[in-house]
């Protein structure tokens, strides 16, 4: 049922999002903080999205390596971008 969970990877060492700090309110949930993409990363992601709305595994790996992001971050960005486009239409 939750096949997506198997695709999640731990954040790279030194990632500010992996601080382990508790969330406000005292909860220490398993959710990551929101990723703040750089302008260059957003430009690359948008350009890839204009070419094709769905990425295959090989393209996702290539983009992740090139941009210094995880494959899960790339996959999630594309999912969110497709939903944004759907809302706009």
Tokens standing for 46?
Answer: 């948008």
- Per-residue pLDDT, 51: 95
Residue 14 within a domain? no
Residue 9 within a domain? no
Residue 52 within a domain? yes
Q: Tens digits of per-residue pLDDT, 12-64?
A: 444 444 444 444 554 566 787 888 999 999 999 999 999 999 999 999 999 99
* Segment (H or E) for 16: none
Torsion of CA 34, 82, 75, 51, to 10 degrees: -120
The C-alpha atoms of residue 89 and residue 87 are separated, in whole angstroms, by: 6
The domain of 52 spans: 39-88
Count of domains observed in the chain = 1
| Predicted confidence (pLDDT) at residue 72 exceeds the cutoff of 80 | yes
Residue 6 within a domain? no
| Predicted confidence (pLDDT) at residue 73 exceeds the cutoff of 60 | yes
Residue 54 within a domain? yes
Residue 83 within a domain? yes
Residue 29 within a domain? no
């Amino acid at each position: 049922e939750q096949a997506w969970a198997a695709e999640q990877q731990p954040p790279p060492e030194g990632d500010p999002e992996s601080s382990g700090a508790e969330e406000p309110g005292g909860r220490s949930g398993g959710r990551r903080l929101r990723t703040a993409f750089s302008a260059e990363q957003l430009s690359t992601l948008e350009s890839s999205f204009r070419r094709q709305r769905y990425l295959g595994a090989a393209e996702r790996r290539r983009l992740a390596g090139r941009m210094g992001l995880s494959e899960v971050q790339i996959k999630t960005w594309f999912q969110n971008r497709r939903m944004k486009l759907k809302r706009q239409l």
